[in-house]
Amino acid sequence: MVSASKGVPTWVSAAAAARVDLEGNVSSVSENMFREGKDESLSNSKTINDFQLGFGERTFSAVGAAFISAVIVNPLDVAKTRLQAQAAGVPYQGLCGAACLETDMMLPDMRTSTSRAHAVPGSNPLCTPECNRYKGTLDVFHKIIRQEGFGRLWRGTNASLALAMPTVGIYLPCYDIFRNLMEDFTTRNAPILTPYVPLVAGSVARSLACVTCYPVELARTRMQAFTEIQVGVKPPGVWKTLVGVVNPMRSTNNLNNFQSYRILWTGLGAQLARDVPFSAICWSTLEPIRRNILSVVGDEASATSVLGANFTAGFIAGTIAAAATCPLDVAKTRHQIEKDPMRALNMNTRQTLKEIWRDGGMRGLFTGIGPRVGRAGPSVGIVVSFYEVVKYALYQRRQLKE
């Protein structure tokens, strides 16, 4: 068994890989290797844990990862939110009126006399009800670009950045710290619990990040869900969106005003109900995959191997977690776009899921699963791989200075 080297984090070394399951249950191929290295991995568990970086350095790595991911995957997030909002009853009128009118005028011989009447300028174009509905992810992209402009695919990006950077800046460093502390404790006192550490650490870290940054998440969802096409009028930003949420609840009573700000956390329960299982599934899938991949590299880890292992593991884990938690994401979106303040405060996840099932059945529960999965896989892969590579680079820089 190769011992962990000083310049490599414990999860990169084969010794750290053995910590995934100290009983040798990770895979039949590596079972003997893990058993032989069990005692050695215990002695090496204190070795260079995640490059021994401080919280500030971890946060810097996480913020950079969040910035890149938010910019790249935002169009898929917009598509997912539009599809879910449409299923919840948000109207999207005028999506193809111009196209219908143009078709009527170009192909008059293929229309009835009634159809030709609609082609007269000033009359209503002949459109079916489906024309004013999004039919899928690509249809969302096509209609947004045609009606609102290419830039609207990045609607809410400022909110995404305002959300992702502090959220991921809290989430990933806290996950690292919680995981390291828990693994150290379970390795010494309850080895059988070690495989479940990523699940618990991910859930706790995500809960902390969600509660802290939730109002910005609320603003982002509303900015992406609602269309406002007014010539010369700039769509409201994060601050104006949040003010618009609070204003209907305001009164002359200061105590009531204070309580009205609770609406900024509308849907927090649904958000936690989605994000905690997502994180639990994601990290409990990601950790064994990346450690098994990196156990092949052993102690000869490089930036390329760290990038490849983390992106692969993150992509797979993010895809699985996103698909599994899609119904909870639909419920979260429905909570956040509810415009009736009193109804928004009284909604709960269970009731919302029942409403979604009643209105759309299984298809309703998985509305937007395509763009959600298409977004989550690359997003998790980008965030985790960038985060780990920057940590690796910072550690190497520190080593050269020393």
Could you give the CA distance from residue 249 to residue 296 in angstroms, rounded to a whole number?
58
**Mind giving me the DSSP string for 110-164?**
GS-HHHHHHHSTTSPP---GGGGS--SHHHHHHHHHHHT-GGGGGTTHHHHHHHH
| Contact yes or no for 164/67 (Cβ under 8 A) | yes
Nearest to 166 by CA among 237, 217, 224, 221: 217
Look-up of token digits 């990169």: 12
Could you give the CA distance from residue 206 to residue 179 in angstroms, rounded to a whole number?
13
Nearest to 1 by CA among 51, 47, 44, 46: 44
For residue 209, give the amino acid letter: A
| Contact yes or no for 1/37 (Cβ under 8 A) | yes
Per-residue pLDDT of the chain (402 residues), as tens digits, is 333 444 444 444 433 333 333 333 433 333 443 344 444 333 333 333 455 677 787 888 888 888 888 788 888 888 888 888 888 777 776 666 554 544 444 444 444 444 444 444 454 555 666 667 888 888 888 888 888 888 888 876 777 777 777 888 889 999 999 999 999 999 999 999 998 999 999 999 999 998 888 888 777 777 777 765 555 556 666 677 777 766 655 544 444 554 566 677 777 887 888 889 999 999 999 999 998 998 887 766 788 888 999 999 999 999 999 999 999 999 888 887 877 777 777 778 888 899 899 988 999 999 989 999 998 999 999 999 999 888 888 888 877 876
According to the model, what pLDDT value does residue 185 have? 94
For residue 166, give the amino acid letter: P
Average pLDDT along the chain: 74
CA distances for 100 relative to 125, 140, 144, angstroms: 6, 17, 16
Containing 260, the helix (H) or strand (E) segment is helix 254-260
**Token duo for residue 167:** 């959220």
Residues sharing a CB contact under 8 Å with residue 393, sequence separation 6 or more, in sequence order: 303
According to the model, what pLDDT value does residue 114 have? 42
According to the model, what pLDDT value does residue 113 have? 42
| Contact yes or no for 369/323 (Cβ under 8 A) | yes
DSSP structure class, residue 13: S
According to the model, what pLDDT value does residue 100 have? 52
Nearest to 358 by CA among 332, 335, 333, 331: 331
According to the model, what pLDDT value does residue 391 have? 86
Crossing angle for the helix pair 349-365 and 326-336, to the nearest 10 degrees = 120
According to the model, what pLDDT value does residue 192 have? 93
- Three-state SS across 176-241? HHHHHHHHHHHHHHCHHHHHHHHHHHHHHHHHHHHHHHHHHHHHHHHHHHCCCCCCCCCCCCHHHH
| Contact yes or no for 61/390 (Cβ under 8 A) | yes
